[in-house]
């Protein structure tokens, strides 16, 4: 593809670890496992990491997530989405079910405001049009800021992450905390891969649904070989059967960069407005095959 797709940006070398079993996977290229350590403006740290730009066409005013999905941006070559830092997104349904993604029950139920608000705060975007407009800019900016560092923060909408917290990488929980800005407790995970500094923060609602996932830092290792049955360590808790993902809402956002020159895209918003939650269902379905494979 000539244009860089979101998945391409997100999933890539170090970051992308697709599970071979996964029906969907994305081949990334530019965004690699390493997130921009700093923006073009030289802003350091996670907060400044730029979100992966989503090349969405500006022309569609009635933009819906389906449009988004249909676009090469998300689907990429294999129609799959992968988590920015680690795994694959359970978007199998995206392609085939784009027609039904108008509303995500789970998303609305669980914490619609959380994800969206978070994004809005981060991006300061209030409506689709604005977002759409921003996207191109984001991309442009992103392209200009393709510095890949190990530090970056990306929020992944729950629907995208879904069971995959199961991104194929092994995560170990090292802490949990109730933060004020959110009613939901945050769980802190580290990549279990030796020397890998990648972390992720998962915000889980009281009902067990994941309301937000934030990835910090890229994996400094290519990716676990999933062709072989991932060892427990490499499997996310959800895969191990200990936990099941019920992504309530996923937010993929690159941080507060919005305040700066960076661009941000509010995925959650898209979800809320145009997505139908099939993921809960899909999740289960996907989960089963996985479990079977296991």
Partner DNA sequence: AAGCTTTGACCTATA
Partner DNA sequence: TTATAGGTCAAAGCT
179 scored as a contact of DNA (CB under 7 A) = yes
Q: How far is CA 35 from CA 201, 214, 215, 245, in A?
A: 16, 13, 10, 25
Q: How far is the CB of 134 from DNA (least distance, A)?
A: 24
DSSP H helix total and E strand total for the chain:
11, 7
- Minimum CB separation of residue 118 from DNA in Å reads 11
Q: At its nearest, how many Å lie between DNA and the CB of residue 94?
A: 27
Stretch of 57-65, 172-180, 261-269, 275-283 contacting DNA, by CB under 7 A: 172-180
Choices 6-14, 23-31, 134-142, 176-184; region in contact with DNA by CB under 7 A: 176-184
Q: Does 38 bind DNA (CB under 7 A)?
A: no
In the region spanning residues 180 to 219, those forming contacts with DNA, defined by CB under 7 A, are 180-182, 186-190, 192, 199, 201, 216
Single out the segment in contact with DNA by CB under 7 A; choices: 85-93, 128-136, 138-146, 173-181: 173-181
Q: What is the DSSP letter of 258?
A: G
Helices within the chain (DSSP H only): 6-10, 65-70, 72-75, 92-97, 105-110, 112-123, 128-144, 158-161, 237-240, 267-274, 279-293
41 interacts with DNA by CB under 7 A: no
CA distance 233 to 170: 5
Within 45-84, the residues that bind DNA by CB under 7 A are: none
Spacing of C-alpha 201 from chain mean position? 12
Q: How far is the CB of 63 from DNA (least distance, A)?
A: 30
Tell me the closest approach of the beta carbon of residue 45 to DNA, in angstroms: 8
Instruction: Between 129 and 259, name the residue whose CB sits nearer to DNA.
Output: 259
**Cα 116 to Cα 3, 22, 34, 167, 178, distances in angstroms:** 27, 28, 26, 23, 19
Nearest CA to 165 out of 287, 42, 68, 274 is that of: 287
Find tokens 């992504």 and name the residue.
247
Size of interface with DNA, in residues (CB under 7 A): 25
Indicate the residue among 229 and 242 with the shorter CB distance to DNA. Answer: 242
Q: Which of 3, 41, 140, 174 binds DNA (CB under 7 A)?
A: 174
Q: Which of residues 223-262 bind DNA (CB under 7 A)?
A: 232-233, 237, 242
Q: Which helix (H) or strand (E) holds 82?
A: strand 81-82
Query: By C-beta, is 172 or 293 nearer to DNA?
Result: 172
9 vs 43 by CB, closer to DNA: 43
Q: Assess 173 for contact with DNA (CB under 7 A).
A: yes
Instruction: Give least dist CB 130 to DNA, A.
Output: 25
Report the alpha-carbon distance of residue 91 to residue 20 in Å, rounded: 15
Q: Are 90 and 158 in contact (CB under 8 A)?
A: no
Residues in contact with DNA by CB under 7 A are 170-177, 179-182, 186-190, 192, 199, 201, 216, 232-233, 237, 242
């Amino acid at each position: 593809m000539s244009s860089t797709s979101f998945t391409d940006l997100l999933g890539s070398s170090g970051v992308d670890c697709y599970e071979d079993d996964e029906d969907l996977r994305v081949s990334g290229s530019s965004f690699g496992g390493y997130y921009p350590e700093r923006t073009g403006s030289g802003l350091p740290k996670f907060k400044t990491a730029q979100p992966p730009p989503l090349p969405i066409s500006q022309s569609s005013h009635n933009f819906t997530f389906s449009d988004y999905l249909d676009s090469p941006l998300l689907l990429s070559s294999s129609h799959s989405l992968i988590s920015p830092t680690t795994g694959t997104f359970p978007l199998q349904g995206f392609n085939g079910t784009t027609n039904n993604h108008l509303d995500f029950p789970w998303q609305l139920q669980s914490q619609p405001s959380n994800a969206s608000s978070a994004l809005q705060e981060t991006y300061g975007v209030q409506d689709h049009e604005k977002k759409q407009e921003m996207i191109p800019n984001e991309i442009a900016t992103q392209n200009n800021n393709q510095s890949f560092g190990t530090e970056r923060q990306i929020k992944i909408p729950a629907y995208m992450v879904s069971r995959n917290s199961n991104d194929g990488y092994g995560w170990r929980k090292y802490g949990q905390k109730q933060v004020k800005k959110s009613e939901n407790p945050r769980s802190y995970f580290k990549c279990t891969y030796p020397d890998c500094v990648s972390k992720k923060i998962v915000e889980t609602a009281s009902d067990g649904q994941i309301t937000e996932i934030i990835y910090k830092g890229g994996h400094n290792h290519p990716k676990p070989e999933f062709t072989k049955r991932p060892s427990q360590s490499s499997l996310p808790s959800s895969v191990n059967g200990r936990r099941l993902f019920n992504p309530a809402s996923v937010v993929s956002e690159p941080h507060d960069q919005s305040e700066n020159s960076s661009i941000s895209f509010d995925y959650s918003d898209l979800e809320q407005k145009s997505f139908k939650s099939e993921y809960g269902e899909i999740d289960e379905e996907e989960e089963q095959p996985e479990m079977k494979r296991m």
